[in-house]
Structure 1
Amino acid sequence: MTNEGNREDGRPLTGGALTRARVLDAAARLIGTVGLVRATTKQIAREAGCSEAALYKHFRDKEDIFVRVLRERAPRLAAAVAELPDRAGQGSVPEHLEAVVLIAVPFYRQSFPMAGGLLASPELLAAHRRKLDDAGPHHVSSHLAEYLRAEQRLGRVAADVDPHAAAMLLIGACFHRAFLEVFYAGEAPAEALVPADPEEFAAATVRALVGGIEAPEA
């Protein structure tokens, strides 16, 4: 993953790699402001400071750029969740789940402006599904459920818990939180984002999921 013209190890990008990084940065900015449908490859190239021909040396089309923006410019939610099953038995379950929340909320928050235009266009959505191949969004909850199932086998998650339902509850909470943050755009009423602090939200959400809401006497 690159950022601001640098490689992961901090070394500056050059040549085609730099052009590619600039195109992704420009696409992320434009999609977030004018939307996916209205952001053309010509506009992206202009914003990136390169020719449209140079853009097409690195990307097949606009949908290809969109996929790469999600994979390389958004928080790496899918990768983080995919690694969880191998960590079963290490650390604590709440710690792992809180880490997921702290990645998932910003990922969805950044994805909403881009996904809005995609969902509004059946043609773009179909093209996007084809490009994803077997890397669809359902893998986030399925990998999380796999992790919970592994912890269940180790006796660290209750035997009567449905891992998939628990995974969907956690990811759903993150999705809704991100939606509220995008919807209110810094102008949320006091009761909309509770708790307001991201780490407190992660801890409270995981605590509710792990502890459940049923009173002991019930």
Structure 2
Amino acid sequence: MATRDVILDAAARVLRERGLANVTTKEIARAAGFSEATLYKHFRDKLELMVAVLHERAPQFIPLLQTLPARAGTGSVREILAELATVCITFYRDGFPMFASIFSDPAIVAAHRERLRAQRLGPHLANEGLAAYLRAEQALGRIAADADPEALAGLVLGACFQHAFIAHFAPEPRDDKEAAAAFIAQLRL
């Protein structure tokens, strides 16, 4: 396995366990079995490493959203939305320790926002990708003509975020797939 991949795997594990603010690059490098200098050969800083973890070691949320519009007309709308919701809930749940660290410091938020902007990425793309899929399904007559794709996208993704948040407080872990399917089944499409 390539050094960068080993570092990303270790960083994903450590960042999810402890959050961005509570871990150093030295600790991440140690967890990966490398020196801190090796880590810096692949990543400018801890924030760049965290962004790479979110994009490369997170559940396949972003790739799924990018391919979603092309899936219009294939399979059941509810099944596709349940698949998306499952991945989304897992992404948000696993990402919360990192997200909390980002939002705990205005400088980190600003740096993260700038890095996402430079890479033409950001959380708004989730809403846009899902809304594009819903518009395509609407054009095929598989979603009500009077439905608002942007509002539905916000509803689905917001509910997934809230489910993931609440899961951190639940005494027993909940199954993301079951929760996603139950939520999607309640939607009036």
- What is residue 73 of structure 2 aligned with on the other side? 89
Pairwise CA distance, 1:197:
4.2
**Structure 2 gap ranges (5+):** none
Pairwise CA distance, 1:182:
1.6
Whether 1:155 aligns to 2:155 is no
- What is residue 55 of structure 1 aligned with on the other side? 39
Q: For 1:12-31, what per-residue CA distance to the aligned partner results, in whole angstroms no more than 9, with x for missing partners?
A: x2xxx2x2122112222222
Q: For 1:128-162, what per-residue CA distance to the aligned partner results, in whole angstroms no more than 9, with x for missing partners?
A: 11111221011111110110001111111111100
Residue 184 of structure 2, aligned match among 196, 203, 206:
206
Distance, in Å, in 1 between the alignment partners of 2:17 and 2:91 is 17
C-alpha change, 1:203 and 1:34, in structure 2 (3 Å) is closer
The more displaced of 98-107 and 24-33 is 24-33
Distance, in Å, in 2 between the alignment partners of 1:68 and 1:80 is 17
Residue 11 of structure 2, aligned match among 27, 40, 56:
27
Q: What percent identity do the matched residue pairs reach?
A: 50
Whether 1:123 aligns to 2:107 is yes
Q: Would you say how many aligned residue pairs link Structure 1 and Structure 2? A: 187
Check the 8 A contact 1:36/1:117 in 2, yes or no: yes
Check the 8 A contact 1:166/1:209 in 2, yes or no: no
User: Which protein, 1 or 2, shows the higher relative CO under an 8 Å CA cutoff with sep ≥ 6?
Assistant: 2
TM-score (norm 1): 0.81
Residue 177 of structure 1, aligned match among 145, 158, 163:
163
Distance, in Å, in 2 between the alignment partners of 1:35 and 1:199 is 25
Pairwise CA distance, 1:120:
0.4
1:57 alignment partner, SS class: helix
The more displaced of 201-210 and 151-160 is 201-210
Q: Given residue 150 of structure 1, which amino acid in structure 2 is its aligned partner?
A: A
